[in-house]
Amino acid sequence: MKKLFHASFAYAIAGVLSGLYYRELTKVNGFTGDSQLGLVHTHWLVLGFIVLLLVLGLEKVFAISAAAPRLFAWFFWIWNAGVVVTGGMMLVKGTLVVAGLDASSKALAGIAGTGHMLLTAGLVLLFLALRKALTAAATDAPSAVPPLPVAAKA
């Protein structure tokens, strides 16, 4: 759980700093057009910070890493690689556009596509691990739900 917390916090910092970078770079260059640079902030905050906080909550409730340790470990590293590659390529392409350089390289597009494929694979791994945790929780659960205690009248 500490890894999820620390990674989430790192993405929060990266998201805020990327927003600052976007604002300052466009101001210095007098850029008013569209670029992917403005989207890096949102992607790192949502895909990195928010998603990992949600997974941290799921981990706390369902103990996914205990029920499916290998799947969960694969999810963690694949997801983070996808977030870094996707956001990093948006940062590179956006910076090139703001600087007035050519950002239409097929290599850049291919690397960005790889980031999206990693995100998709990470999402699939998360759902497989979550399914395994839910199945394990269902077999460990008692067959009947005990009644709620009733408070004694004073």
The answer to whether position 144 is within a domain reads no
118: helix, strand or coil? helix
The answer to whether position 85 is within a domain reads yes
Which residues are within 8 A (CB) of 53 and not within 5 positions of it... i.e. 6 or more apart?
4, 8
Confidence of residue 147 (pLDDT cuts 50, 70, 90): low
pLDDT for 128 equals 97
How many angstroms separate the CA atoms of 143 and 154, rounded?
A: 34
| pLDDT tops 80 at residue 138 | no
Domain tally, the chain: 1
The answer to whether position 74 is within a domain reads yes
Which residues are within 8 A (CB) of 60 and not within 5 positions of it... i.e. 6 or more apart?
1
pLDDT in tens, 105-135: 999 999 999 999 999 999 999 999 999 999 9
pLDDT for 144 equals 55
Share the mean pLDDT of the chain: 92
pLDDT in tens, 45-86: 999 999 999 999 999 999 999 999 999 999 999 999 999 999
The answer to whether position 60 is within a domain reads yes
The answer to whether position 98 is within a domain reads yes
The answer to whether position 53 is within a domain reads yes
Owning domain of residue 85 = 2-135
The answer to whether position 152 is within a domain reads no
The DSSP 8-state label assigned to residue 99 in this structure reads T
Question: Environment class of residue 11 by beta-carbon count within 10 Å: exposed (0-12), middle (13-18) or buried (19+)?
Answer: buried
The answer to whether position 151 is within a domain reads no
Question: Environment class of residue 83 by beta-carbon count within 10 Å: exposed (0-12), middle (13-18) or buried (19+)?
Answer: buried
The closest of 109, 60, 83, 98 to 10, measured between CA atoms, is: 83
